[in-house]
Structure 1
Amino acid sequence: MSNLDRQAALSVCGGRGFVVAEPVRELLSPRQVRLGEATEVRRLLPNLGRRMVGAWCFVDHYGPDDIADEPGMQVPPHPHMGLQTVSWLHDGEVLHRDSLGSLQTIRPHELGLMTSGRAISHSEESPRPHARYLHGAQLWVALPDAHRDTEPHFQHHADLPVVTAPGLAATVILGELDGAASPGTTYTPLTGADLSLTAGTDTTLPLEPDFEYAVLSMSGEAHVDGVPMLPGSMLYLGCGRGELPLRAVSDAGLMLLGGEPFEEEIVMWWNFIGRSHEGIEAARTDWTEGSRFGEVKGYDGDRLPAPELPPVALKPRGRVR
């Protein structure tokens, strides 16, 4: 998914200097962002107070939206570099096209994982016809410097491992959880899991103490480490946890995001992740001039133009504002 903000801001993220090395309960509020003409998303990362959780650097939650009489998601071809996109649905379908020639419909609880590496472009749209409801999350994972120029590729995994406990089913989207490993390719130690809780469940989830974590509420009402959470909010949990208490007030859906704190400082602007202003500027020029990022074929419409770069020098500010 693209960051369609026409006033895209430059920011420098990463580095261990602002990692919370102990358990915390930091509730993050979303920012409302319009995605195209028909979809509005709740942006949790980057946030006013925090930019990264492990290598996770971008989180949008959208829906559930009734799109029975609407076009639904319509994101024109746009570029990415230096990151992985993770498409995750609870309801609906998203048709993915990319400059490698990939054409894939992503359905609920299937992993759509695109590794941009040095350069790729893609589009995302609700198929025609499409299901009545659309509900999901779009997330980015920053690639470490050693792998950010890797060859771009796309993966689709419909069969993912599930960790179960009474009242809990945890689908492992990326990385590992409680000994179960996703087939999706990762480049840093991390965890991404979809948690389904039935009403009245009171349980704990095992965690890696060296990871930092956050939980995104997708649906229902649940208490995460004693903090009530409603859909569209995210709770940052810091590091140093061996387990996470969960209690479901109603049937609830959560996403657990975690990973080893990302050591490198990154520059994230629009749909690019780099290491310097010059690298971002070169990527923007290449997209504008039609080179490097390839062509998405089959999308009915124009590609997305890049916004103007702001006339400011980049200043590293760490993982939090």
Structure 2
Amino acid sequence: MSNTETRPAEMRCGALEDEVPAAGVEVLTARDVPLGGPRAMTVRRTLPQRARTLIGAWCFADHYGPDDVAASGGMDVAPHPHIGLQTVSWLFSGEIEHRDSLGTHAFVRPGELNLMTGGFGIAHSEVSTPDTTVLHGVQLWVALPEEHRDTGRDFQHHAPAPVAFDGGTARVFLGSLAGDTSPVSTFTPLLGAELTLVPGGTATLDVDPGFEHGVLVDSGDVRVEGAVVRPAELGYVAPGRATLTLTNESAAPARLILLGGPPFPEEIIMWWNFIGRSHDEIVRAREDWMKGDRFGEVHGYDGAPLPAPELPNAPLKPRRRAR
């Protein structure tokens, strides 16, 4: 998915952001961002934001729907570029057609993972299919570490079977949880899973104490340790816990996305659809996209590629840690 903001902020992420106490849960609220389409489908963005820019290597989280395609026009994101990251597409309902410059033509369907690696450069398009009436899901990005950030293009697909645990079920699309392990390879340790909690149920899950975790709630009110996280909010849990206790305080099933990974040790710069390490690197990537170099072509999309927004007038200055 593209960041289609016309004036995207350039953000330095990682090493300078504040930490929360190990015992605390930080609740992050989302902001609305128009994604595109004839009537501008809106997504809710919880990462990155000023309060927190990374959870492990997870650096971007858009949550959208349930969206009435007849009213919004659905998703129609023209070919656009990525560098230095992997995109993780996960749907609750609907279907999205994916095409990329690797030559992949695939479909994103509910409960199935599509993971695309940009590395040195890739381009792709995303369009909801004509049969889609309700579009609902998440789009996530993973920052690539320094030693792998110029890796080649790649695409992986996985359809995880649901696994039961006391209090609910999980579909583990990355990493390991509840006795299940995804076969999909990543460049840093990660956890990504869709969890459904029974009404009023409590689940205590074993997690890696070296990971920080994010709980992105789709439906229901979910108590994460001591804090209630409501739909479209993301609860952040610092490293140090060997278990994570989740309670569904709703009278209906609750659904959430659980993300995790060890704190990302590198400082990165995010602008538009690019993740780099310097302002100059972002400038070069933008120039390469506008000149038609580096990213390859996306075949089969009916329309022109997205033009890159204008860069800020001044180079990025690092944000200092609050005292």
Counterpart of 2:109 in structure 1 is 107
1:254-303 CA distance string (max 9 Å, x none): 11111000001001100000000111100000000000001111111111
Counterpart of 2:258 in structure 1 is 256
User: In structure 2, what residue type is equivalent to 1:254?
Assistant: L
What pairs up with 1:84-103 in 2 under 5 angstroms? Answer: 84-103=86-105
* Aligned 8 A contact 1:286 1:292 in 2: yes
Counterpart of 2:288 in structure 1 is 286
How many residues are matched? 319
Counterpart of 1:234 in structure 2 is 234
Cα distance in 2 for partners of 1:17, 1:282 equals 26
* Aligned 8 A contact 1:119 1:292 in 2: yes
Counterpart of 1:75 in structure 2 is 77
Counterpart of 1:219 in structure 2 is 219
1:72-93 CA distance string (max 9 Å, x none): 1111100000000000100111
Q: TM-score, normalised by structure 1?
A: 0.95
1:210-251 CA distance string (max 9 Å, x none): 111110001123222232222111111111111111111221
* Aligned 8 A contact 1:51 1:320 in 2: no
- Residue 162 of structure 1: how far off its partner (Å): 3.9
User: In structure 1, what residue type is equivalent to 2:299?
Assistant: K
* Aligned 8 A contact 1:88 1:138 in 2: yes
What pairs up with 1:116-135 in 2 under 5 angstroms? Answer: 116-128=118-130, 130-135=131-136
- Residue 131 of structure 1: how far off its partner (Å): 2.4
Cα distance in 2 for partners of 1:222, 1:19 equals 22
Q: Does 1:295 align with 2:297?
A: yes
Q: Does 1:306 align with 2:271?
A: no
Counterpart of 1:165 in structure 2 is 165
- Residue 71 of structure 1: how far off its partner (Å): 3.0
What pairs up with 1:14-33 in 2 under 5 angstroms? Answer: 14-15=14-15, 18-20=18-20, 22-33=22-33
Query: Secondary structure of 1:101's partner?
Result: coil
User: In structure 1, what residue type is equivalent to 2:2?
Assistant: S
Cα distance in 2 for partners of 1:144, 1:301 equals 33
1:40-92 CA distance string (max 9 Å, x none): 00000001311000000000000011114653111110000000000010011
Query: Secondary structure of 2:194's partner?
Result: strand
Query: Secondary structure of 1:23's partner?
Result: coil
Query: Secondary structure of 2:62's partner?
Result: strand
User: In structure 2, what residue type is equivalent to 1:140?
Assistant: W
Cα distance in 2 for partners of 1:7, 1:244 equals 38
Cα distance in 1 for partners of 2:175, 2:188 equals 9
User: In structure 2, what residue type is equivalent to 1:317?
Assistant: R
Cα distance in 2 for partners of 1:319, 1:241 equals 24
Counterpart of 2:153 in structure 1 is 152
Identify if the C-alpha distance between structure 1 residues 221 and 11 changes in structure 2 by more than 3 Å, giving closer, same or farther: same
User: In structure 2, what residue type is equivalent to 1:260?
Assistant: P
* Aligned 8 A contact 1:214 1:235 in 2: yes
Counterpart of 1:46 in structure 2 is 48
Cα distance in 2 for partners of 1:291, 1:305 equals 13
* Aligned 8 A contact 2:202 2:247 in 1: yes
Moved more, 238-247 or 270-279: 238-247
Identify if the C-alpha distance between structure 1 residues 262 and 30 changes in structure 2 by more than 3 Å, giving closer, same or farther: same
Cα distance in 2 for partners of 1:319, 1:283 equals 28
Structure 1: tracts of 5 or more residues without a match: none
Q: Does 1:6 align with 2:2?
A: no
* Aligned 8 A contact 1:51 1:319 in 2: no
Cα distance in 1 for partners of 2:227, 2:255 equals 15
Identify if the C-alpha distance between structure 1 residues 190 and 319 changes in structure 2 by more than 3 Å, giving closer, same or farther: farther
Q: Does 1:139 align with 2:140?
A: yes
Higher RCO (CA-CA < 8 Å; seq separation 6+): 1
Identify if the C-alpha distance between structure 1 residues 57 and 126 changes in structure 2 by more than 3 Å, giving closer, same or farther: same
Counterpart of 2:68 in structure 1 is 66
CA RMSD of superposed structures (Å): 1.8
Q: TM-score, normalised by structure 2?
A: 0.94
Query: Secondary structure of 2:288's partner?
Result: helix
